[in-house]
Every structure is written in structure tokens, then in C-alpha cells.
Chain A
Amino acid sequence: MTKTAAFEAGVSAALANEALQHALADVPAGFVAGRARQKAALPEFEGLRRTARDIRDHTLAHLDAYLEEFERNAVSAGSTVHWAATADEAREVVLSICRAAGARTIAKSKSMVSEEIALNAALEAQAMEVVETDLGEYLIQLRGERPSHIIAPAIHLRAGDVADEFRLRHDHLDASRDLATPEVMVAEARSVLREKFLAADVGITGANFLVAETGSAIIVTNEGNADLTMSLPKVHIVLTTIDKLVPTLADAWPLLRLLARSATGQAFTAYTTIVTGPRRPEDDAGPQSCHVILLDNGRSELLQSEFRPILRCIRCGACMNHCPVYCAIGGHAYDSVYPGPIGAVLTPALAGVGEAGHLAQASTFCGRCEEVCPVEIPLVSMLRGWREQAFAASDDWRSRTFLRAWVQLAKRPRAYGLAARIAAAILSALAGAKGILRRLPFGERWTRQRDFPAPQGTTFQDLWKRRERDEGPAP
């Protein structure tokens, strides 16, 4: 099966999945309306987007210098900095830190980078227990799924699904207990997870931003789970990528102001933590050691390419919340770590255009994603860029032959005019008085679910020529 055919199969399954469709139907009223309210309440919102874009662009233009500055400052704050060129290297670094710590239980707060390097499977293969502590991430870990959204990993689930899952998995609790409300379920997850936090030997978090001038990581959550993950275990690992950098704390501020507004429609996340190294002698809590893993995984190559603007991304998920394709099929149909418009641009870069180029085809180029992107990534141009690479590399001779034949015709106006006249006449005659074709020769992909409107029968050029002949040139 080709990649495109596999994608189409996933799409069909998603469209037929009623529970998923119900869950997706809530996105517009939730995230989309929330962002709109925040934007309306903040007159400088659009200006802030330009500022944010400029900060990101500046950082990317001088990334080497800022990375070195970050490393210096992180090391002087007591952190150990590890550089990982590939997913393999990053996994190996995590494993060796965990082994050295004698880790049996590892608490994690939500990290897309850990999904990118398939970390959990690697840790579990070493007989270490990994516990996701973000509620959504915990749910999909129980279900053996991958996140279907970068900030709301379990957005495809509804409350009933969660209750069923808890009854099945928390089998040490009374099977007849009340799980009717989200509050009850959250309380249950909280008590189950609290045990894990206390047992964890290592805590792994991502980072929303890294600050060069202080060597800090900034981590935001709405559940406070990252704070427990980084402060209770004796080792804290910040697993992140080289593009998360900002020069100064002041630069992080506009990005943070945009992040929650764009993501969940909050003015600010409930928890925003700046963490700089391990526990200091005067601190009465915190980890004994702090490791920052800086993963490249193809990003430095992206930095040199036409796709550099994708590295501005601050992972808010607004592009997917506003994407009509994402909202129709959900995240799992993309079958990639990062779904939605950002995923369709980033995944071909990470996995190769042969592996994921088809994702860039699945867009109408409606442009709503770039309209809402807080760092003004030109997502449509980037998607088109992947289509250009795919076209150049393609062995899809059917599309290629069709396009090239059509262009040969379209660059010959007389022949084109004749072909259009014939097509208009034939289609119109086939439709007859009904005005529609219920089936279109070679067009069943259109007419399976839609009628094809019949042409009026004669081309405009033909009629215009007749009018000029009958009436003389238009007045």
C-alpha cells in the first residue's frame, strides 16, 4: 500500500468513527472561540505576533551563538548539557542517565520530543516503569495510543471513554465507584499519580523555551504536573530540541503571552515555571542533578533550507485547532508524531519526503493556519514547497502525465478553446435537462458524494466572440 493509500484508509476510519467525530465537534467552541476571545481582548495581539516572529527569526539566525551561551550558563548553574544529533543518541543519553541513577520508576510530563524519539518504548525495554503525568498523556499511555494533538493529546476522547478506561486500568479501586463527572475522574487520576511522583527516581520534562542568558528552561502546564516531575525525583532531565532557544528572559515574555492565548484561549497557563539547574545548597527542595538534552534530529539541516521558518514554531496547536482538515479527521489519521498543518510541514523534514510528503497534499491551502499562527509561519508556502519536492522526486506518472498534457493544451489557446467547446457541449448534453451529472466519466472521486454541476453548454469565449460579431465590440 502506498503512503497515500494508507493515509486515505486512516482518513476513512476517522470519518466513520462516531466517538471521534463527536469529540472533534467540540474544538470550535473550545479552543477556537477561546483564542478569538483572547485576541479580541488584547489590542496589541497582531503586533505581538510580529514581535514574536522577529524574536524567533533573530534567534534562529544566530542559533549557534545562543546555543553556546545557553550551554555556558546552564553549566554554571549546575546543569549537565548533552548534545544529541539523532533520536538514537538522545535515547541513549536518557537511558544512561536513568541507569546511572538506578531508576526503576520514571515520571514524565508531556513532551512531544519524547514522542519524536519514541522514548517510552526504549525505557520500558530496559524494565523501567514510565508514568506519564499529564492527564491527557496518562490516558493515551493507558490506551497504548499516541497523542492526537500536540497540546491536548487525548482530544479524541470523551468523558465516557475516560471513565471506561479508569475502571479497566485502576482495578485496585472499587469497580462500582462513581465516575460520572470530570471532577471525580481528575481526583482519581491525581491520587493514582501522586504515588508515582513520590516513587519516581527520575523526572523527565520537555521545555517550552530555553533561555540563553540564564541557562534556564521554561515549562508551562495547566496541571502542575511538570513541577512535581522536576522537583520530587532526585534527577531531572530536560529533553528538548535546539530550536527552543530565546536570547533573554525578556524575549520569552511576548512568546508566553501568545502561547496560551493561541493554544487554549487562556491569557496565561496555570503554571509557568522557570527552572535553572538542580537544587542549590540554600534550597530546601529540588533534584540533586539536572540534565539538559539538546536534540538536533534534522533541525540544523532545516535551518539551512527554505523551511527554516517552521523552526519558529512554539507548539501552540492553533494551526490544528483552526484546520478544517484536522478538525475533520483528527490527529491519529496523520499517522505522524506531529499532526495538523505543523505536522504536515515538519514531518517530511524529519522523516523524509518519501515517507511523509503525502501529508502536504492533504490541504486545500485555505490559509487559516497561517492566519492564526502566533509566529506567522507561512505554512501554505511551506506545504507547497514540500509538494514541489515531492513532484520533483515523484514516480507518480499518472499525475505527472495528466498535468503535463493539460499544460501543453493550456499553452495553446486555439486548441484549448476547441477542447473546452467540445467538453462543455458533451458534458452539457450528457446532463440533459437535469443540470447535473450524477456520475462523471473519470470523475467518480467527485461524484461518489457530490453531483457534478453541468456546464451551460457553450464556452464564454465562444459566446463573447459571437456577441462581438453580432453587436460589434462592446461599447
Chain B
Amino acid sequence: MTDGYARRPRVGLFVTCLVDLMRPSVGFAAARLLHEAGCEVVVPRAQTCCGQPAYNSGDRESAKTLALATIAAFEGLDYVVAPSGSCAAMLKLHYPRLMSGDDDSERRARGFAERVHELLSFLVDVRGLASVPGNYAGKVTYHDGCSGLRELKVSGQPRQLLAMMPEIELIEMPATQACCGFGGLFSIKFPDISNAMVSAKTASIDQVAPELVLAGDLGCLMNIAGKLSRQGSKIGCRHVAEVLAGETADPPIAHPRAAS
């Protein structure tokens, strides 16, 4: 282990509002991976949303209210880890900016930000995870979510983790770093542009014809899966944590439920 904790570090899982509402299996997969990485996982009940929809809509005051609530919810934990590049970047990079001009809050936000990590980079860069529980066999491609990629430099880590599964075949699609067109509220404010962008993304996915599209952000995945579904594609979409943790009992995003 590469960090300095003698005991198991206590990690607060920032579930993200999308995972909480849409796909709890991603949260359990993240918890499993953190456990494998020698962490104690804590899920503060007072967390809701990071405030990004307000922040990116220009509503700084609302974003600040939610940021302060989130910081308070994760008080006393060694780390805060989110299975999303976009939410992690909000917590890590934007909370301190949001508080600028208010010395006390800014200091708290900076202290908080130091403990925040995106899940995949935390597993690799902080915890040095050497093996994963999952053992997916098949052809996958990985979509680089914009915030994780550009704001947090998450790019090698997910690929390194996927390579720990001997039977997986990772095939890079063309333009893997191109935005999928989700952009939070952008997807409903400008549906036609968003659709053009996600259509370009699914065309690029089709070129490598994987069984699964993986990504580290549920927002991108819902957008890509929703488009693939509308196009009648059989290609599945999953959060990369599900595959790494071997938590694949639930069908892929937007796929029919298995008859029970």
C-alpha cells in the first residue's frame, strides 16, 4: 500500500446522486473494490448531490449550499471517493473555487479537496491495488469521460485495472476522448446537439463492435446506453467498477431485465 496509514483507512463513499437513484450496483461494486484495496467503507447518510447542476447553470449560491453540506457529511473520514470523474472533479477542484472570497469556507473546502479522489485513480495511484475480483471474459471498449480525463487526468488507471483481468480484451474505439454529448442539463437544454454528439460516439463504438462499453461516469453511460438502445444495438454499457468488482448480476444499462 502506498499511503501512510497503519490501520485501514476509512473511506467515505460519495455515491453520487445518479448511482443512488439509477444504479445502486455501481455503488456496491465501488464498495467492493475499496474493500479489496484494504479500506473501511463508510457511506454517510447525509450526502445527496455534489451541486454540479446548480454550479454549471450559474447558480453559485445553491451550489455553495450543497457543497458545504457535502463537506460536513464527510467530516472525519480519511478519504472521500466517488465512482465518477465529474462529481470527483466538482468536489476536488471546484469546491475550493466556489468558496473563494470566504476564507473560512475556502480553508475547509481545500482540506476536504485534498482527501477527495475519483475511484479508479484512488485504487491505482493511492492504494496500489494489484488484483481485482472481477474476471470478465470478452471484448470491451472504454469511453474516457471528459471531467475525469481532462480535470483529474484519469486515463491510464482504468486501463491498468482492466488489464488485471486475463480474459478481457480491451479494444480502443476511435476518438475515445471525444465527449459523448451528455453534459448534464446540456443533454435536455440542447437535445439536438447532444444527439449529434452521442450519435458520433455510438458510430465510433460500432466500429470496434464490443460486447460492452465501459466508462467511469454514469451520466455518460446513460446517454450512450440510451442511444444504443434506441438504435436497436445489442451492445451493453456498464460502469467499469461493476466489471472490475465482478458485480455483473444485473443486466447492462438500458438492457431488459432477466426474467425472474
Contact = CB atoms under 8 A, between A and B. Distances in A.
A280 interface: no
Nearest to A370: B150
Interface residues of B, number: 76
Most buried by B among A423, A446, A453: A453
A387 B58 contact: yes
B22 A461 contact: no
A214 B132 CA distance: 64
Contacts of B194: 364
A399 B62 CA distance: 13
B66 A364 contact: no
Interface stretch (A40-48, A229-237, A433-441): A433-441
Contacts of A433: 256-257, 259
B226 A464 contact: no
A407 B62 contact: yes
A368 B35 CA distance: 35
Interface in B4-54: 15, 17, 19-25, 27-28, 31, 35, 40-41, 43, 45-49, 51, 53-54
Interface stretch (B105-113, B115-123, B133-141, B174-182): B174-182
Interface stretch (B162-170, B184-192, B209-217): B184-192
A195 B253 CA distance: 64
B62 A404 contact: yes
A475 B182 contact: no
A140 to B, nearest CB: 23
Contacts of A464: 24, 27-28, 31, 43
B183 interface: yes
B193 A367 contact: no
B150 A452 contact: no
B198 interface: yes
The CB with the most chain B CB atoms within 10 A, among A364, A423, A452, is that of: A364
Nearest to B182: A364
A443 B198 CA distance: 17
A5 to B, nearest CB: 12
B125 interface: no
Contact of A435 (B69, B183, B254): B254
Interface in A1-59: 8, 11-12, 15, 28
B56 interface: yes
A329 B196 CA distance: 9
Contacts of B187: 446
Nearest to A390: B58
B223 interface: yes
A373 B45 CA distance: 42
Contacts of B58: 384, 386-392
Interface of B is mostly: helix
A449 to B, nearest CB: 4
B227 interface: yes
Interface string A364-379: 1111100100000000
B74 to A, nearest CB: 13
Contacts of A288: none
A180 interface: no
A451 B24 contact: no
B151 interface: yes
B150 A368 contact: yes
A403 B54 contact: yes
A235 B137 CA distance: 73
B160 interface: no
A324 B190 CA distance: 13
Contact of A451 (B56, B182, B229, B259): B229
A364 B255 contact: no
B26 to A, nearest CB: 8
Given A324-B178, A364-B182, A474-B31, A460 B254 contact: no
Given A366-B183, A389-B58, A453-B225, A407 B196 contact: no
Given A388-B60, A413-B47, 6 more contacts: A15-B193, A324-B181, A387-B56, A391-B59, A435-B254, A453-B226
Interface of A: 8, 11-12, 15, 28, 324-325, 328-329, 361-368, 371, 384, 386-392, 399-400, 403-404, 406-407, 410-411, 413, 416-417, 420, 423-424, 433-436, 443, 445-446, 448-456, 458-461, 463-465, 474-475
6 closest residue pairs by CB, A with B: A364-B183, A391-B58, A387-B58, A366-B179, A460-B24, A450-B226
Interface of B: 15, 17, 19-25, 27-28, 31, 35, 40-41, 43, 45-49, 51, 53-60, 62, 65-66, 69, 73, 146-147, 150-151, 175, 177-179, 181-184, 186-198, 200, 222-223, 225-227, 229-230, 250-251, 253-257, 259
8 contacts: A384-B55, A388-B60, A391-B58, A410-B49, A445-B191, A446-B188, A453-B229, A460-B15
